[in-house]
Amino acid sequence: MGIGPQSLTRNPSVPRRSKVWTFIREYYVAYVFSGPAILFLVGLLFVPMVYVFYLSFRQVNLLLPAAHGFVGWQNYLYVLQSEPFWLYVRHDVVWTLGSVLGEYAVGMTTAVLLDQKIVGRAFFRGIIIVPWLVPIAVASVVWTWILDPSYGILDYLLKQIGLMPTAVDWLGTPSLAMLSIIFINIWRSFPLYTLMLLASLQAVPKDEIDAALIDGATAFQRFWMVKFPYLKIASIVLVGLNVMWVFNNFSFIWLLTTGGPITATTTPAIEIYQEAFQSFNFGDAAALAVLMILLLFVTFAIVRALFAVWQKVRAPRPIA
Amino acid sequence: MSFVVRRRVTSTVTYVLLGLFSIYCLFPVAWMVSTAIKPASQVRTDHPSFFTGHPTLINFLTVLEHTQYLMYARNSLIVSAFTTLLSLTISVFAAYAIVRLSQAPGVRQLGSLLLVSQATPPVLLVIPIFFIMSDLNLLNTYFGLIITYTALGVPVCTWFLRSYLSNIPEDIEEAARIDGCSRVSLVFRVILPISLPSVVATGVYAFVLAWGSFTFGYTLVSSNAMRLVTPALSLFTGLWTVEWGLLMAAAVLNVIPVAILYIVVQKYIVGGLVAGAIK
Amino acid sequence: MARFPRVQRKATVLGLAAALTLGGLGTGFMRVPAATSASKKVVLTLWWPNAANGDPSEVAVYDALQLWNKNNPNIQVQPTVMPYSQIQTKVTLAATTHQLPDMAVTLPGLISQYYDMHILDNLSPYLNGWAGKSQVYKAVWRAVTIDGKIMAMPQYTDVRALLYHTNDFAKAGIKTPPKTWTQLIADGLKLKQKGIAPYGITGTGVREPQELFAYIVESGTNIANRMPDGKYRNIWATNSAALKDATAVFQLYATMRKDGLITAQQASWHWKNLDSNFGLGNIAMAQEGPWMATYSLKNYPQMKNVAIAPLPTDNKPVTFLEVNTMSVFKGAKHIKDIVKFLKWWVSPAAQKIAYPSESVNVHVVPNTKWGLGFAKLINTGRPFPDVSMSSIEQQMMYAVQYVVLNQKTPQATALWLSQQVNSDLQASGELSPQK
């Protein structure tokens, strides 16, 4: 099929078809390559999300099959009014911030330590990755056993060295349960931070560090002024992804405390499970889920806006 | 303080700190192994110890001989291996499209969609995915599990690979394209070899994800013959008492395949997953 | 049958089917062949919590099933092992998509729920007129009957009693087991003086609401009362006498906690913690059931000192009657074969092997302290009310934890629980509007 200036003027329908043809010729590779990913994303993540969104406006209570139907905002009102929803959100914020900040701190410390030229670096790096290889279900049973108030090794050791007079029920005391699961989550998740931050550290150009050394910069200055800028992108990706993962996490909390004692570690994710599988109320569970996603999006929008403002404020100052 | 002294202090502090972190990392694993090799009488005791005078393999033998652990492990291996292969294939091409072919409308946005998808609480997906698999008649099949885990793994895998591929200079491909190489063979002949560490590391991520997944593993499987190894752990807690020795032996066996995989591909990890994920 | 709107799901399916086609992978090659029906052989699927490698008691249940499978090559029962919590989740999901097994072992609180979901098969037509029916305790049949219909097959029953270690009692100079709550506290204090941990409770797991329920019915009230309109309501907030009874129950927990008969740690005890601590002799008394007999078979030397007494009570000599059942789900193809199996399952032949000391069959009472001690209490047993219990059970756990962890007063706890129960009843459509 010839495409020339003549055909363009003579027949207006041909160029339009040709445009489509050109478009396909130009881009089909891109769509063939990304197609499977898009289909998986749409078929198994976005369609379910839309379905849940749809459920959230319906009464779907397995115990009351006759009453199924559209109910507007009623599920949302029920969730927001009669459940201690905001208490659970507070728990989730503590759980997320505690875990992510802790993981970041431990990950950064270990990455900086491993960035030095020391004998046995590969050995220590190998050890530090170990927790990440332990599946969450395994980590939960192992920690439950370690923290067992009757026969657990931790309470025994702490008593032996005189740090504690009596056994402490780490997962069963309301004031300690959240701290304990955060500690365990940090243990399981920090290696990914270490690896990523370490790789970024090793990508810092050597001459910049040497220049800083010659200028007489202290170790802290070298880290903060020279190396940290190279860690920014890794840090944003790590923190961003993990905030979403931890905020939505269900299995770790469920396997360790099932949201207890009482509701001390109950987060909206736990509440979704209980609404769906203990109260058999899929409509309320769906409304909770939509609220969770909204909360995440609102949080990220606010963080982005603050970030933009911050960039503007400090923009006039030249950066060294 | 002289330079030499300062260096010595620094390295001592480094070793002490690394030692402490190593204990933090290994303590639970060591306790797991230690409990698994103890005779039953030394497991529940008022004076627990890491060491036992009578190490025994009885817990491991019980798990391997009296339960169908090996069958569960085989199921998990099949599912995890195919998930890894499928996720990698899909992710490599998707990542390549995002990096190199992003002039096609919508492809650039795919990158952000991948991240947005991570905001979905997995516990919320349980119900609709169960319905989908049920309608497709894929409950209790390897295939149903594989595509579920692939869907969960593809976003992060693509994201990791995308970052890595964007570091590869475009001119490397030019020569091959001039030779008349198609895009597909370009990916296989040029891109894959260069980014092998990153691909391997991403593969480990996909494998660990599928191997360790708990919730979908038990909701999508009802038959004993198809059971996966991580959800099967709950079988060792016992109905009436927790047999910690058996449970820990099962836990050790659960971690071993992942550990072996990691040891085999260790050298790729730091340069791979990581180098990719940061840019 | 609860069924979800299919239109939206079709869209999902289409999207996914496209994904599969593009992935270039067929589905057939990996599908595990379904149990064949080549011959006349029938395979009945059963979800249950007994692991073949588990406790002696679990193995015994397995042995009974093996015997059936050996003698009935044409009606094979194929069990899949999973913990109770997974059975509940999976039944819920399966109920919405017709993926239910033929049978599942079901805890007492769930029968009414499955009944409300319309997924249970009514067994009355198959059991009325059956000669073996009279071999099962009347109290047990009552517990599985809803609206006059038998909705599940009882398989074992665990009535609750006070279990105590006689050697501990001897050390503290206590001659007879406590008969009232006041005596329970007094005896507890004596034991404590001798350095013996007096009492044990559970704070989590399905045992906790059962334990609490036993004290509630002893006190003369109920967690949910059947009102004249046939629906249910918790009356503690509106009836001062009932509130007094309920408060007394939480006061018992509070006093035991204050006097050190129980510890704060026990608020997180699961039945596994309670049973093994009692079995090891770490605590002198507990509300327990006949399952403890199996601890005496294992390596628990302190079990030989155990004696059984009715629960101490200040009001009514009643207790909790747990009836564990096999549910038969609607749509099961071979209902006749299922019923045949279930009739055998409650016969002495099966019960003697599977549940020797927890049998629902009046003829299976071993001549031991366990068999005799519990069998005579069965008729004082009260089952849960016929309402959806699982969210209520969760609230009951919170209630006991509030008291034991000193976070609410007994009366405040009773009022809080009353409100939660009624709100859960409302959510499941079972709340009576009458006050």
Rounded to the nearest angstrom, the gap between the alpha carbon of residue A292 and the centroid of all alpha carbons in its chain is: 13
Bigger pLDDT: A203 vs C146: C146
Q: Where are the domains of chain A?
A: 5-55, 73-314
Phi-psi region of C43 (alpha: psi -120 to 50; beta: other; left: phi over 0): beta
End-to-end Cα, chain A, rounded Å: 59
Cβ pair C429:A39 closer than 8 A: no
The residue ranges of chain A whose pLDDT is under 50 are 1-10, 12, 318-320
**DSSP secondary structure letter of residue A226:** I
Chain A closest-CA separation from residue B69 CA (Å) = 15
Among A131, A273, A289, whose Cβ lies nearest the Cβ of B25? Answer: A131
Q: Which residues of chain B neighbour A143 with C-beta distances below 8 Å? A: 28
Cβ–Cβ contact B136 with C under 8 A: yes
Angle between helices C390-404 and C207-218 (to 10 degrees): 80
Average pLDDT over residues C305-332: 94
At a CB cut-off of 8 Å and minimum separation 6, what does C285 contact?
C162, C163, C164, C165, C184, C187, C188, C191, C198, C199, C200
> What pLDDT shows up at residue A16?
59
Structure tokens at C148: 């006059």
Q: Chain C contacts of A260, Cβ < 8 Å?
A: 204, 268, 397, 401
Q: For residue B143, which phi and psi values (nearest 5 degrees)?
A: -60, -45
Judging contacts by C-beta atoms under 8 Å, the chain A residues touching residue C109 are none
Task: Clarify whether residues C278 and C407 are in a common domain.
Answer: yes
Q: Is C118 on the interface with A (CB under 8 A)?
A: yes
How would residue C139 be classed by pLDDT, with cut points 50, 70 and 90?
very high
Average pLDDT, chain B: 87
Same domain membership, residue C330 and residue C206: no
Q: Average pLDDT over chain C, rounded to whole?
A: 88
Does pLDDT of C8 surpass 50? no
Whether pLDDT at C7 is above 70: no
pLDDT for res A5 = 43
Residues C301, C184 share a domain? yes
Phi, psi at A310, each rounded to 5°: -60, -40
User: Looking at the structure, do residues C236 and C183 belong to the same domain, yes or no?
Assistant: yes
The CATH number of the domain holding residue C92 is 3.40.190.10
Smallest Cα–Cα separation from A39: which of B123, B121, C25, B207?
C25
Instruction: Indicate whether C26 pLDDT > 50.
Output: no
User: What's the gap in Å between the CA of C35 and the closest CA on chain A?
Assistant: 29
- In CATH, B61-278 is 3.40.50.920: no
Statement: residue C189 has pLDDT above 60: yes
Which range of residues forms the domain containing residue C74?
38-158+322-371
Upper half-sphere CA count for residue C295 (Cβ side, 13 Å): 25
For chain A, say whether C92 makes contact (Cβ under 8 Å). yes
What are the tens digits of pLDDT across the range A27-60? 888 889 999 999 999 988 889 999 999 999 999 8
A73-314 CATH, one of 3.30.465.10, 1.10.3720.10, 1.20.140.10, 3.40.1280.10: 1.10.3720.10
Whether residue C426 lies within 8 A of chain B, CB to CB, comes out as no
Whether residue B269 and residue A143 make contact (CB cut-off 8 A), yes or no, is no
Residue of B139, B241, B247 to mutate, interface with C, max C Cβ within 10 Å: B241
| CA–CA distance, A233 with A189 (Å, rounded to integer) | 19
* Angstrom distance (rounded) from CA C341 to CA C361: 15
C-beta atoms of C12 and B138 within 8 A: no
Q: Which residue from C357, C361, C380 is spatially nearest to C369, judged by alpha carbons?
A: C357
Domain boundary among C349, C371, C393: C371
| Domain ranges, ordered by start, for chain B | 3-56, 61-278
For residue B266, the distance in angstroms to the closest alpha carbon of chain C comes to: 30
Best mutation target among B18, B131, B237 (most A Cβ atoms within 10 Å) is B18
Among candidates C337, C366, C132, which has minimal Cα distance to C141? C132
Per-residue confidence at B272, pLDDT binned at 50, 70, 90? low
pLDDT at A224: 86
Q: Is residue C358 part of a domain?
A: yes
C-alpha distance from residue A290 to each of A57, A249, B125, C333 (Å)? 10, 15, 12, 39
Mean pLDDT, residues C7-33 taken together: 42
Q: Give burial (CB, 10 Å; 0-12/13-18/19+) of C134.
A: exposed
Question: Which has the minimum average pLDDT: B112-116, C164-168, C264-268?
Answer: B112-116
All residues of chain B having their beta carbon less than 8 Å from the beta carbon of residue A273 are 123
Question: Within 13 Å and on the Cβ side, how many CA atoms surround A240?
Answer: 21
pLDDT of residue C25: 38
What is each CA distance from C396 to A288, B132, B210, C347, C392, in whole angstroms?
23, 35, 37, 35, 6
Of C396, C85, C72, the closest CA to residue C224 belongs to C396
Residue C392 lies in a domain: yes
The pLDDT of C285-305, averaged and rounded, is 87
Assess contact for B31 and B50: CB atoms under 8 A: yes
DSSP A184-213: HHHHHHHHHHHHHHHHHHHTS-HHHHHHHH
Q: Which of A9, A131, A51, C23 is nearest to B22 (CA)?
A: A131
d(CA A24, CA C430): 60
CA distance C268 to chain A (A): 5
Residues C312, C193 share a domain: yes
Lowest-confidence pick of A293-302, B234-243, C64-73, C225-234:
B234-243
From chain C, pick out residues whose CB is under 8 angstroms from the CB of B237: 83
* CA–centroid distance for A228 within its chain: 22
Residues 38-67 of A with CB under 8 A from B: 38, 40-41, 43-49, 51-52
A199 and B212 in contact by Cβ < 8 A? no
Range 100-129 of A in CB contact (< 8 A) with B:
106, 109-110, 113-114, 116, 118, 124-129
CA distance A2 to chain B (A): 24
Give the closest-approach CA distance of C69 to chain A in angstroms.
Answer: 33
Q: Which residue of A has its CA nearest to C24?
A: A36
Q: C152 in a domain, yes or no?
A: yes
Tally of domains within chain C: 2
Say if residue C233 is in the same domain as residue C352: no
Q: What pLDDT score does A304 carry?
A: 86
* Confidence (pLDDT) at A40: 92
* Residue in A28, A31, A39 to test binding to C, most C beta-carbons within 10 Å: A39
B-C contacts at Cβ under 8 angstroms: 109
Would you say residue C296 has pLDDT above 50?
Answer: yes
pLDDT of residue B189: 82
CB B98 within 8 A of CB B138: no
To the nearest 10 degrees (0 to 180), the angle between helices C84-95 and B122-135 is 60
Closest CA to A193 of A248, A99, A111: A111
Does residue C189 sit in the same domain as residue C103? no
pLDDT higher for B231 or C38? B231
Q: What is chain C's alpha carbon radius of gyration, rounded to the nearest angstrom?
A: 23
